[in-house]
Amino acid sequence: MANTKYAYVRNFELPDPLLPNTFLVFRVDGHSFHRFSDAHNFTKPNDIRALQLMDHAARDTMEAHPDIVLAFGESDEYSFLLKKSTTIYSRRQSKILSTLTSQFTSSYVYHWSGYFPDKPLQYPPSFDGRIVLYPTEKEVKDYFAWRQADTHINNLYNTTFWALVQEGNQTTTEAHATLRGTFSKDKNEILFSRFNINYSTIDARFRKGSVLVREALDEYVVPQYQESQELEERGLKRSQASHPLSEVFTLHPLAEETESTNETILGRL
């Protein structure tokens, strides 16, 4: 067959299996989302619809890939934890990385109009992704703690910054100058004394990010603000309360895999 004389080029496709029995964290980030959020006039400091769209894309990704047991999102990034025993796509790195990034991207574009019915997508947005391997639970917990601490730091800064700009009538340059060298307590104080904002009462989603957990019976625990009719139609149970990551890891210790089927799936990472 004519094709056979060229088929040797397949020999250049080298195997890329990931180490077995290690946790996979897949993280996706918006590509040039500063420009993207400007082009679509995202509300500052947080655009609730944009965050809900991210959550929706993340949920779709979890539904398509049952070995994802936990996801955490903030701003234009989302992290997914795959259980360490996963054999998804024979643990081939490129296959996993490209498929998950594609799935997330596709859902984001597909669901856009549901969250922004009045705002047509100006151009196709893209994301980049990466996979990181973690051998133990400790690193996995610290990874998510790291992302959530990042959420807190960024959100406190952004909330104070935009209060200074939007309500305090500072220029962005002035607002950056005001915040230079300040600590968390200083920012809390600025919010409270100047703008009468108690930071701790701000929507938990903004302060702590979104957490999606796969539970027994394939139910998701989704944050309480996720008032999605669609979710219930799918038979997905809405949780009663948001789950900051610290609670998730307390309630669902990342236990060793067991044969038991009564445990929550998170218990069988």
Per CB under 8 A, residues contacting its own copies are 1-3, 5-15, 17, 19-22, 28, 31, 60, 64, 84, 93-95, 97-99, 101-111, 121, 123-136, 139, 142-143, 145-146, 149-150, 152-153
- Cβ 112 to its own copies, closest distance in Å? 9
- Cβ 217 to its own copies, closest distance in Å? 23
CA 117 and chain centroid, separation: 23
Locate the DSSP E strands across 122-166: 127-134
Q: Are strands 220-221 and 23-30 parallel, antiparallel or unpaired?
A: unpaired
Closest alpha carbon to 55 in 39, 74, 69:
74
**Residue among 57 and 165 whose Cβ is closer to its own copies:** 57
**Residue among 119 and 194 whose Cβ is closer to its own copies:** 119
d(CA 176, CA 111): 35
**Residue among 154 and 239 whose Cβ is closer to its own copies:** 154
Q: 88, 67 in Cβ contact below 8 A?
A: yes
Token pair recorded at residue 45:
């400091």
- Cβ 130 to its own copies, closest distance in Å? 5
**Residue among 84 and 268 whose Cβ is closer to its own copies:** 84
d(CA 70, CA 83): 9
- Cβ 84 to its own copies, closest distance in Å? 8
